[in-house]
Amino acid sequence: MRRLPLSPALLMLAYAAVGLAGCAPVTDAPSLARRPAEAIDPRLPIADRSAALPADPALAAALRRIADPAFAQARTVDAAIARAEGLAATAGPPGSESWISAQQSLSAAVAAQEPVTRAIGEFDAAVADRIASGARLVPQDLAAVRAISGDLAAVDRRHRAALASVQRRLSR
């Protein structure tokens, strides 16, 4: 194959055409002008005025309605655990009548705690639904959520520790 020689003038014309093609106007390019958000100094602290917002009384009432049965049931669970502890303290060896009776009492105490466990799940679901819905949670709402949640968790921890203690005593 034979190469055709390119004249320097033709070569310069080709380079000029390519160079001018890059200078064509772009009609849909974004503007390089400063946007309003760029005028804000990022070092300035942002004032949190959310503490002044009023709490949602309906939220606190709804969360209390979910938690109150658990708090009411806590006394029943405490009594069932006390019965199980008493029977476990006097239980004979595994498989004996007294040991079986203590195991059944422990099972009754665990079953009595079910409303507390259910209330914790419903409480968490209600708060998660509130967050997922995009509804506001002001600091006062969050304080109410934390207080009720903390009270539920304390009851649950106390019961679980007592039930575990009875279980350890019976599994000796």
CA distance 88 to 105: 9
C-alpha triplet 120, 125, 126: angle, nearest 5°: 100
pLDDT band at 90 (very low <50, low <70, confident <90, very high): very high
**pLDDT(153) > 80:** yes
Percent of the chain residues past pLDDT 90, beyond the cut: 58
The one-letter amino acid at 79: A
Residue found under tokens 């006394």: 75
For residue 3, the model assigns a pLDDT of 67
Taking the CA atoms of residue 92, residue 98, residue 103 and residue 109 in that order, the dihedral angle to the nearest 10 degrees is: -120
For residue 41, the model assigns a pLDDT of 82
For residue 46, the model assigns a pLDDT of 81
Please state, rounded to an integer, the average pLDDT across all residues of the chain: 88
**pLDDT(33) > 80:** yes
